[in-house]
Amino acid sequence: MKGLGTMTTITAQELEAQMPDATQLLSDEPEMESSLHYLQLMLLVSCLELAWQDRRDFFIGANLTVYFSRQQLKNRDFRGPDFFLVKHTERKHRNSWVVWEEDGQYPDLIIELLSNSTVNVDRHLKRKLYAERFHTPEYFYFSPDTLEFAGFRLALDQYQPIVANDQGWLWSEVLGLFLGVFNQQLRYFTLAGALLPTPAEALQLEVEKGLLMVQQEQLRSQLALEQVEGERQKLQQQAEQDRLRLEQEAAAERSKAQEAEAQLRQLREKLQSMGITLE
């Protein structure tokens, strides 16, 4: 989004001899053009940092100056990319990215956020610089205002357009992710098509996951209670059936006893009529 002027190439020995201490080189970048640009930049940074939270081998620069030559320092003719990623480096705080203090490493991926005042610079002059001087493998630009989006991959110091998939997303070999427009914002997607969440979205997903787990636990508890209640009812029914069976058996025994007593009484009466008395 910032301006670009002419560059002069110097040798590695000259760099080493002439460059100031990196600790003195603070980033000197203007504010983002609009709240849309600022929010888009924060989204790109926060989503990737969340996705790579367990990694310690990368650095993300957000509106941060990249220092790479004495001439640049003298003329102040170039300012840093809106978003850049450097891999295979230490994940730590930096006031700026100073190439000669970082083993000569330049960004592996750059994303510029277009604005009306810088669109031509970002499309052409910066594209040439990032290809021929930085040798940055991948370069993307995106307009938060118009949603214009394009990506390029380096081939012999020249950028070739990255072909979009059916969803209009562009594959980044550096990231191992797709970049694509979603809800008017530039977002990351996995190879399987899953959207990388923002920290807020990830928190919401965790809350929803927690609520789902609670609901599942409540359902399991309810099913367990219903199972216990079912067993209790079965036992109660069995007990009632046993009680009825015992009552029926007792009634049958009483009936038999009463019948035997009646037969005995009839026998005594018959014997008495015959003059026979039972002791």
Tell me if 36 is assigned to some domain. Answer: yes
Both 181 and 152 in a single domain? yes
**Structural domain for 233, as ranges:** 201-279
140 and 21 share one domain: yes
Does 71 map to a domain?
yes
Whether the predicted pLDDT of 50 surpasses 80? yes
Q: Mark whether 127 and 207 lie in a shared domain.
A: no
Give pLDDT tens digits for 20-46.
555 557 655 556 568 899 999 999 999
Partners of 159 in the beta sheet?
Answer: 154
Q: DSSP secondary-structure letter at 99?
A: G
- State the pLDDT at residue 15: 43
158-185 pLDDT, tens digit per residue, is 999 999 999 999 999 999 999 999 999 9
Do 230 and 117 fall within a single domain? no
Higher pLDDT: 91 or 79? It is: 91
Confidence at 3, pLDDT banded by 50, 70, 90:
very low
52-73: pLDDT as tens digits: 999 999 999 998 989 888 777 7
Residue 23 has phi, psi (to 5 degrees) of: -65, -20
Within a domain: residue 103? yes
Provide the number of structural domains found in the chain: 2
pLDDT band at 49 (very low <50, low <70, confident <90, very high): very high
Q: Does residue 223 fall inside a structural domain?
A: yes
CA atoms of 103 and 105, how far apart (whole Å)? 6
Q: What is the pLDDT of residues 243-266, one digit of tens each?
A: 888 888 888 888 888 887 888 888
The strand pairing partners of 149, in sequence order, are 142
> What Cα–Cα distance (Å) separates residue 110 from each residue in 139, 200, 274?
5, 25, 130
Question: Helices marked H in 58-167 — which ranges?
Answer: 70-75, 119-120, 126-132
Whether residues 40 and 167 share a domain: the answer is: yes
